Structure 1
Amino acid sequence: MNLFNRSILPLFAVFAFFGVFWAGCADIPNDPEAAQPVESISIMVKQKDAPFSTILKVHPYDSATITATVAPEKYQDDISFEWIYTNDNKDSLLVRAKQYSFLPSKLATNIPNKLIAADKEGNKQTYEFTIVINTPPVLSDSTIPASGDTLYGSPESAFLFEWYSIDVDIDNGDSLFHILEIDDKAYDVGTLLQVKQSGFNAGEHKFRVIVRDLYGDSDTLAYKNFHVIDTLGAK
């Protein structure tokens, strides 16, 4: 059963094989003896109890599992897989199996970046991919104002809001983006770590900060409360 053609296909998060299709009109029935094609092969990864995802991103400190899924599912057992680490055009076979587990914090040579899929007739297709190893950003609990602070001013007073975020991936080209929420109103402040904001009436207020990196990993501070006393109105 020839499941693959020999054309070169573009790389996507879902890597597709296209087999032999019968020409003609859609209303002409297929030959019952004709081999049906494998429509797609998906490369997916997961960590812990999360579901498998075609977003090939993992955190460095938990074991990850990569898998290949065939559609239609009935062809799953007809396809064999080789997970390979390749560097400088040199291939190292990691395992022959549908799935492969690895620890991202270990040597890069243990992390696959190539899949070779083959049918029972020996037809093969090769796909190269990259698994992104990303550490989520972290927000410090230290902020200005701190939770419980009292601020003195008027609605025209510009109060300082300051926070601190860290990400060990920054040196590898990652970037952090922040959202400041004040009294349930969100302000996209980008890469800033401090802003000044006015317009606060006397009374209780709250704020929090959310940080996200380029890969969508995030951290969120718990709400912090602060009290504003209107010194102008008190005169």
Structure 2
Amino acid sequence: MEKKETHSLRMTPAGMRKGFRIACGAVFVVVALALLGCLDLPDAPNESQYVERVDVFLFQEGNQDSTLLKIRPNDSAVIKASVYPRQFKNSLTFRWLFCIGDSTTIIGDSLTYTIPSSPKIHDIPNALEVTDGVGNTIRKDFKVSVNMAPTLYTKTIPADGDTLYGNVHTSILFKWLSYDTDSFDENKLEHTLVIDGVEYPVGRLEEIMQSGFGEGEHTFQIMVKDSFGDADTLPVYRFYMLDTLGGSL
């Protein structure tokens, strides 16, 4: 009987390398097919904001209002958008909006918006929308206040240079008048009466009685301030007390 030779199967190094290449090729085909399938899907807008933050700043007569968005109505002003990161600002779309109730009107579409002098309510934006190239939008709501500084009439009691008669026991009437064209500041003006260099906050009062004036020259001054901190101040006025009673009651 013829004896058959048997051989055990052994993987040579060359065979192992060939098998590894075949396996890698199969994996590559699967991954490539998966990627091709993904390419058929439309790209969704990036969920993270392209613009991280947007702020607005107001400029009037070249000066930036760093604390309040407040303008004087007789002068035009420029409101400017600032976006972060800054390098993307040239590839963004800006929409300045005037919103009231459910109504929204686009009144500007650039990085800056000019508020005209003596503006109407619909000339002043109160929201800004910034949109990037893939449709992400970030919105900034704000309020611009139109404010006129308060004004003091120059006519006062006593008048500048008046001579009054009495002594330290005589009550003297100090009276003045201020006004503000802003309706939101109506009856909210705060006054300070300065007598002989001493300040007396008197709130919304526009007259006060004061005694204790000896014979000779005295000074007084009126200051007024509105709710935004804008103020008006009269110059220092002088009056003269002439004691005709000899210091008696």
* TM-score, normalised relative to structure 1: 0.77
For the residues of structure 1 that align with 2:190 and 2:161, how far apart are their CA atoms? 26
The match for 1:85 is: 98
The match for 1:211 is: 224
For the residues of structure 1 that align with 2:99 and 2:147, how far apart are their CA atoms? 21
| 155, 175, 192: which one aligns with 1:142 | 155
The match for 1:125 is: 138
| 66, 70, 73: which one aligns with 1:57 | 70
- CA offset digits 1:12-44 (Å, max 9, x no partner): xxxxxxx8xxxxxxxxxxxxxxxxx73x43212
The match for 1:162 is: 175
Task: Confirm or deny: 8 A CA contact 2:46 2:134 kept in the other structure.
Answer: yes
Task: Confirm or deny: 8 A CA contact 2:168 2:247 kept in the other structure.
Answer: no
Q: How many pairs does the alignment contain?
A: 204
Deviation at 1:124, TM superposition (A): 0.9
- Larger helix fraction of residues: 2
Change (3 A) 1:49 1:208: farther
The match for 2:80 is: 67
Change (3 A) 1:169 1:109: same
The match for 1:32 is: none
| 79, 96, 106: which one aligns with 2:119 | 106
For the residues of structure 1 that align with 2:171 and 2:204, how far apart are their CA atoms? 20
Task: Confirm or deny: 8 A CA contact 2:185 2:226 kept in the other structure.
Answer: no
The match for 2:165 is: 152
The match for 1:96 is: 109
Q: Which runs of 4+ in 1 moved over 3 A?
A: 1-5, 71-80, 170-174, 232-235
SS in 2 for 1:109: helix
Does residue 224 of structure 2 align to residue 232 of structure 1?
no
Q: Which moved more, 1:79-88 or 1:164-173?
A: 164-173
Residue 135 of structure 2 aligns with an amino acid whose one-letter code is G
| 88, 113, 116: which one aligns with 2:129 | 116
Residue 42 of structure 1 aligns with an amino acid whose one-letter code is D
- Larger strand fraction of residues: 1
For the residues of structure 2 that align with 1:48 and 1:56, how far apart are their CA atoms? 14
Deviation at 1:146, TM superposition (A): 0.5
Residue ranges of structure 2 left out of the alignment (5+ in a row): 1-44
Task: Confirm or deny: 8 A CA contact 2:55 2:140 kept in the other structure.
Answer: no
Task: Confirm or deny: 8 A CA contact 2:150 2:180 kept in the other structure.
Answer: yes
For the residues of structure 1 that align with 2:199 and 2:85, how far apart are their CA atoms? 44
Change (3 A) 1:202 1:74: farther
Deviation at 1:71, TM superposition (A): 4.3
Residue 148 of structure 2 aligns with an amino acid whose one-letter code is T
Deviation at 1:192, TM superposition (A): 0.3
For the residues of structure 2 that align with 1:174 and 1:144, how far apart are their CA atoms? 21
- CA offset digits 1:150-185 (Å, max 9, x no partner): 111111222110001111224775621101111111
Q: Which moved more, 1:50-59 or 1:189-198?
A: 50-59
Residue ranges of structure 1 left out of the alignment (5+ in a row): 6-18, 20-36
SS in 2 for 1:199: coil
